[in-house]
Amino acid sequence: MIRVLLVDDQRLLRSGFRALLDLEDDIEVVGEAGDGLEGVALARQHLPDIALIDIQMPVVDGIEATRRIAADPALAGVHVVILTNYGFDEYVFEALCAGAAGFLVKDIVPEDFLHAVRVAARGDALLAPSITRKLIDRYVNQPLHTGSGSGTGLEELTNREREAVALVAQGLSNEQIADRMVISPLTAKTHVNRAMAKLHARDRAQLVILAYESGLVTPRGH
């Protein structure tokens, strides 16, 4: 069962998302919050698999709520997915740096919304190749505010793990990485997971950021 927490100051929107999720046999909404402070408290109380968090909210905004969840070792299993009206912008980038696993626009069609929840629950980042390219093109040369304070740890990666991280940074899935590296999808997932552990990255979104921040890969034209 996928446990979901809804955090948005628009009650009507929360009700709409809840109605969709309640229809699914494998998904359970464990709580709702109207601001980030309450959302973090409910995350600690319910330990959801997914926290769907709006960016702009009163009291504590979505970026700070994401940062607090990511910084709490007890919430390591909570995957934050940012909800936004505007698509990919600087706020979404800040949320990804703060520890979000990905983002969704609020006008997403129901089928894609449900698919995205299941993808995030598996621990995969909601970053399509097109989104990754936008992240690279628009923000890779700007200062990154990761707040982790730790080194990149690239020296601890094996050559195959480095290769896998570079492919993740291109927006490839485990299956696509497996094809590119001529290995099984399970082995590709193992390389990615080990790299995440060594780099102290919560998820694939963080790997994308770390890969470019560290210089492991560089955007075309640079």
Question: With bands split at pLDDT 50, 70 and 90, how would you rate the model's confidence at 152?
Answer: low
Better-predicted residue by pLDDT, 9 or 149: 9
Q: Return the pLDDT at 28.
A: 96
Better-predicted residue by pLDDT, 126 or 162: 162
User: DSSP character for 156?
Assistant: G
Q: Which residues contact 155 (CB under 8 A, 6 or more apart)?
A: none
| Separation of first and last alpha carbons in the chain | 45
Question: What integer is the mean pLDDT of 181-204?
Answer: 89
Can you state the angle between helices 159-168 and 185-199, rounded to 10 degrees?
90
Q: What residues does 84 pair with on adjacent strands?
A: 105
Question: With bands split at pLDDT 50, 70 and 90, how would you rate the model's confidence at 87?
Answer: low
Q: Return the pLDDT at 88.
A: 59
Q: Return the pLDDT at 7.
A: 97
Indicate the SS3 state at residue 175: helix
Question: What integer is the mean pLDDT of 47-64?
Answer: 94
Q: What is the pTM of this model?
A: 0.71
Starting at the edge strand that comes first in sequence, how are the strands of the sheet with 102-105 ordered? 27-33, 2-7, 50-54, 79-84, 102-105
> Residue 134: pLDDT above 90?
no
Q: Which residues contact 57 (CB under 8 A, 6 or more apart)?
A: 7, 8, 9, 34, 35, 36, 65
Separation between Cα atoms, residue 35 and residue 66, nearest integer Å:
12
pLDDT, one tens digit per residue, over 167-188 is 888 777 788 899 999 999 999 9
Q: What residues does 80 pair with on adjacent strands?
A: 51
Q: Which two tokens stand for residue 183?
A: 């290995």
